[in-house]
Structure 1
Amino acid sequence: MTTNATSPVRYLNPEGSCPAQGLYSHVGTPDGKLMFIAGQLAVGADGGVVGKHDFDAQFRQVFSNLGDVLRGLGGDYSNILKFTTYLVHSQDIDHFMRLRAEMFPQFFGDKDYPPNTLLTIDRLVKEDFLIEVEATAYIGD
């Protein structure tokens, strides 16, 4: 999808991705290879919040949604260049670290992990969301 026929930028909503929570696309790409993936939230296929008040459930849903976007683009977690993670509560940093240590070896194997910037913020688009993760990926030929 292109919003401007002369623009090299394309906006995508890959098949299998959850419904967007506003007026945005899940992915922007200048060349079809470098992918800027919108922050993924704990949103189910029905568009509802998954895991209200449950950080672990939200973490798992966020990374499931991110995986869906990557697969829809023809990639997987090995295509990730960088993450930016937003947490609503600093008390969840330990939960985040524990879950990351548990799940990242499944995503990346026993190798180095992508860079991650971790921020705590006042709130996300809906108060029920506890975590949001955006990513940059490269999906080449």
Structure 2
Amino acid sequence: MSRLTHIPAPDGVVPGNGYTHVVTGRGRLVAISGQIALDERGELVGPGDAGAQARQVFLNLSRCLVAAGATFDDVVKLTYYVTDIDDLPAVRAARDAYVDTARPPASSAVRVAGLIRPDLLLEVEAFALVP
């Protein structure tokens, strides 16, 4: 049994689509800064392609989690910053390759006017609890 508790829809709160409203547990907190679609050489992956950028972002998140001794199973919260809400299906598809969709983390999506570079379409940060 998981050491994390997922509460998909607390009483009086409509269930979310692809996220859990509340995730709680015990462990060491790991905060991962917003990751963008730069590869290990600092080059942009997927100019103009939200799906390609999202896949690189989740690869970067995975590498950060490993560095902290964590996995996506430990992630309790993801925050998405996107320049176009219409890109969310591509972002979710990339996420679903890493996240247990039966027990997804809590999540927030925020549309922003821009990111640190004009060619970036999204940024994702994560919080995890590691035993």
TM-score range, shorter chain: 0.7 to 0.9
2:99 aligned partner: 108
Q: CA deviation at 1:139?
A: 1.4
Unpaired runs of 5+ residues, structure 1, are 1-31
Q: CA deviation at 1:71?
A: 0.7
Runs of 4+ in 1 over 6 A off after TM superposition: none
1:91 aligned partner: 86
Q: For residues 3-40 of structure 1, what are the alpha-carbon distances to aligned partners after superposition, in whole Å with 9 as ceiling and x for unaligned? A: xxxxxxxxxxxxxxxxxxxxxxxxxxxxx920111001
2:60 aligned partner: 65
Residue 117 of structure 1, aligned match among 82, 95, 108 = 108
Alignment partners' CA distance in 1, 2:30 and 2:63: 14
1:35 equivalent to 2:30? Answer: yes
Q: CA deviation at 1:95?
A: 2.9
Residue 41 of structure 2, aligned match among 46, 55, 58 = 46
Unpaired runs of 5+ residues, structure 2, are 1-26
TM-score, normalization: structure 2? 0.73
2:126 aligned partner: 135
TM-score, normalization: structure 1? 0.68
1:13 aligned partner: none
SS at 2:98's partner residue?
helix
Identity, % of aligned positions: 31
Q: CA deviation at 1:108?
A: 3.5
RMSD of the TM alignment (CA)?
Answer: 1.7
Aligned residues: 105
- Kept after mapping to 1: 8 A contact 2:73/2:100: no
2:74 aligned partner: 79
Q: Indicate how the Cα distance of structure 1 residues 37 and 110 shifts in structure 2: closer, same or farther if over 3 A, else same.
A: closer
Q: Indicate how the Cα distance of structure 1 residues 74 and 42 shifts in structure 2: closer, same or farther if over 3 A, else same.
A: same
